[in-house]
Amino acid sequence: MMAASSFLPLHLPASPRPATVAARAASGVASTVPAATQTSQLEETFGRKGLRFGTDATGAPTAELSVRNGSSLQLRLNDGLVTSYRPKVSWEGGDGCRELLHTVAGAGAVKGGVGLVLNEASSSSSGGASLLGASEWSVADVDSDSYDAVQVELGCSAKGAKLEVSYVVTLYPLSMATAVIVKNNGAKPVELTGAVLSHIKFDKRRGTAVEGLRGCPYCSHPPPASGFALLTPAEAMKREESGWFGGGGEEPRQGAWTVEENLYTILKKKVSRVYAAPPEERKKRIYSTAPSKFTTIDQSSGLGFRLVRMGFEDMYLSSPGGLYEKFGNDYFLCTGPASILVPVVVGPGKEWRGAQVIEHDNL
């Protein structure tokens, strides 16, 4: 297995962006252009082997990425939501391309999948104001390496063009990577919080766990609010009554810290946690950070996937408990790298980068 650092995107945009790329970005997705016209323009400008453009059930433009071993993913271009990731795997009972993400479509909206949350922490709004809510993503660039890697870069501006945001999604035979790059073009520092949240589905509630968090401090904490999350922050934090799947001890109250003592973190009950170094610890010259990766365990299928954190300081992890039934028959986790507890400060003329990799060796 290749080192996690080798899964960084093929191409990360330089600053400033070349004029030729900026011109192509201007001709990307525009809300006033009919979907069929958008698809045709995107296909003509960016289409290549392993990359095709179309629309989803809601009519939103999409990019379809695929590589030689059959692995594929679908990316919505107007909001950057990855709605499908089907890696080539072998599991108990078969082998082939199997859907990893839990996505729910209905009433013209799509929720779940893998999405980016980016908020301005210095805003007076509770939890910070979203920097992406009113932004229109455009296709800035694409890249590929034969049949073994395909990449799409989306771009948008926020705060009156003072912030330039790039979101790079890359598909490899054994992994997918999502990277965010924020460039501050303004004259003042900007404080950001954010996360890359993935809704990963499991065959059964019993037997859902993760490995790799033992020894890490954690506290109960709501997820950052987003338009794509299946559970709202209030739903994620609501206590679940003990029942058949209860047990395992009470969750600590919000703000109280404890340490993960188990080799396997069992997630059949409802939890909403941030695994990280407590903010007070980070004031010390030397402190222990959260693990850079952990592995999901699906006992029913025998499959496991590693989630790798880059750039972000925290790891968010939640399970829905009995609430999963609101969203279909599959159990799921919402998890991913985050910077929630302590904002990231991006100085004038500086940039910040964070990424998540989902990788596996289920072959």
- For the stretch 164-210, pLDDT in tens is 999 999 999 999 999 999 999 999 999 999 999 999 999 999 999 99
- Cα Dmax for the chain: 60
The first and second tokens of residue 238, run together, are: 């609501």
Dihedral over Cα of 229, 234, 237, 241: its sign: negative
Beta strands in 268-350, from DSSP E residues, in sequence order: 271-275, 293-298, 303-310, 314-319, 331-346
Q: Which residues of 180-189 are buried (b: 16+ CB within 10 A; e: fewer)?
A: bbbbbbbeee
Q: Which of 235-244, 304-313, 347-356 has the lowest mean pLDDT?
A: 235-244
**8 Å CB contact between 355 and 177:** yes
Report the 10 Å Cβ neighbour count for 98.
17
Q: How far apart are CA 300 and CA 303, in angstroms?
A: 8
In the chain, what are the domains?
A: 36-240+251-360 (2.70.98.10)
Residue 38, φ and ψ in degrees, nearest 5: -55, -50
Q: Which residues of 210-222 are buried (b: 16+ CB within 10 A; e: fewer)?
A: bebbeebbbbbbb
Residue 247 has pLDDT above 50, yes or no: no
Percent over 90 (pLDDT), the chain = 72
Residue 237 has pLDDT above 90, yes or no: yes
CB-count burial class (<10 Å; 0-12, 13-18, 19+) for 3 = exposed
Torsion of CA 124, 196, 45, 49, to 10 degrees: 180
First vs last C-alpha separation in the chain: 11
Q: How far apart are CA 326 and CA 106, in angstroms?
A: 13
pLDDT band at residue 122 under the 50/70/90 scheme: low
Average pLDDT across the chain, whole number: 87
